[in-house]
Structure 1
């Protein structure tokens, strides 16, 4: 895989799966934009890549804020001239019975996992059409494919992101733009570790491989779909989950 002369933006790029994604793309020659709301961690991630000889810049981005999205779009197109790769990794969820979901909780889940990625893609899609090419990879979840106990709204958001990815893939294909989705299983990230221990134990019991995924393992799938090795793959959903679900 080769990302030489490719400009890539990764949301949630300051930690976990997003951090592994920006590091891998940079190692493969890409010019990466580490997009995150966490300024300190994002600046460090970009600095670490540059210290190793890679190309990286931090951009503060709140995917739930249209003004922030527009500002990042304008900056990227003004300084880079284009965006070749867009990876929507940022997301959030918390296990909670639906009857306990208040308005703020539902809004946060929907905005971070569906509305935010849609808005960011809408910001960059016209420029990809103009340049006749681009790679979009959306991080969804198997919860969006088969449902998940205690994650009803999260499942709805992630299912919506899958449907959106498939539909947009049909629109983008004629312009050389591919759109695919990745569905991580339970992955060893700070977000997973924030859940109660009883949930983590329950997860492990139903994963055939009997371990949580590593952020790099998910990032490898994202990077593949964003690479030249996946030029003829679009509208597809790839689960990286240790076999916890096996969807045809």
Structure 2
């Protein structure tokens, strides 16, 4: 099993969904977790307590508005003072759908800032420190829509395609750092398809209601449009993949964009 004892992981957007699942997987391997996201005090307390219960020796919350570069710098400075991130997971993301002709410019700016620019800022701060240590992992949570297009999601698709490209550049720049023994420094993307999170619950409920209240049929109907397996992924499965990428054995897996999409992107 992967042992991350002595490692510190910053997971953005880790108060729920895929981010929390990744943080939980890393906590279970013994990593300290720098929690980040938008939530109230009660939720933050519950998440940190849960991560400690999962095996993390420390789990603390770090604030930072990813739309603002100076706030990202402050976030990275605070994590640096805490020991610095050996593992960086850029998971936080926002989305707004609509035709290009109707997309507000402020929505474009916000989506690009959170989903792409913030990852540039966090990587720029974290990667040199990882290089000095001979071990580092950046796991960027992209999307199948970082690999293919989708109507009415122009800013999101642009940001996720950009994140995949940025990750390839960073992977090349740090590919020769460290060794198999130290684990090296790698940069990879995970590209989930339909994944069971609260974000898509309304869509599932609407499909289920149209099919007589059968949730499983609703899911299959929703996924049939894109995902051939007609099965959603559980966030814990994304967490398990992220954990494996952090293992030293994955020192030669870098610059990849790994789909977890039930065959969506091979059609």
Normalised TM-score (structure 1): 0.91
Does the CA-based 8 Å contact 2:191-2:258 persist in structure 1? Answer: yes
Structure 2 residues without counterparts, runs of 5 or longer: 178-183, 208-217
Deviation at 1:137, TM superposition (A): 0.6
Corresponding pairs, count? 246
Look up the match of 2:17.
Answer: 16
Look up the match of 2:148.
Answer: 146
Distance 1:52 1:172 in 2: 31
Look up the match of 2:247.
Answer: 227
Distance 1:38 1:57 in 2: 14
Look up the match of 1:215.
Answer: 235
**SS where residue 264 of structure 2 aligns?**
coil
Per-residue displacement from partner, 1:126-184 (whole Å, max 9, x unpaired)?
A: 22222232110101111121111221221111001000000110101122311000000
Structure 1 residues 52 and 158, CA gap change in structure 2 (3 angstroms):
closer
Deviation at 1:195, TM superposition (A): 5.0
Deviation at 1:58, TM superposition (A): 1.4
**SS where residue 54 of structure 1 aligns?**
coil
Look up the match of 2:77.
Answer: 74
Does the CA-based 8 Å contact 1:141-1:184 persist in structure 2? Answer: yes
Look up the match of 2:39.
Answer: 38
Computing the radius of gyration over CA atoms, which structure comes out larger, 1 or 2?
A: 2
Structure 1 residues without counterparts, runs of 5 or longer: none
Structure 1 residues 51 and 236, CA gap change in structure 2 (3 angstroms):
closer
Look up the match of 1:240.
Answer: 260
Deviation at 1:39, TM superposition (A): 4.3
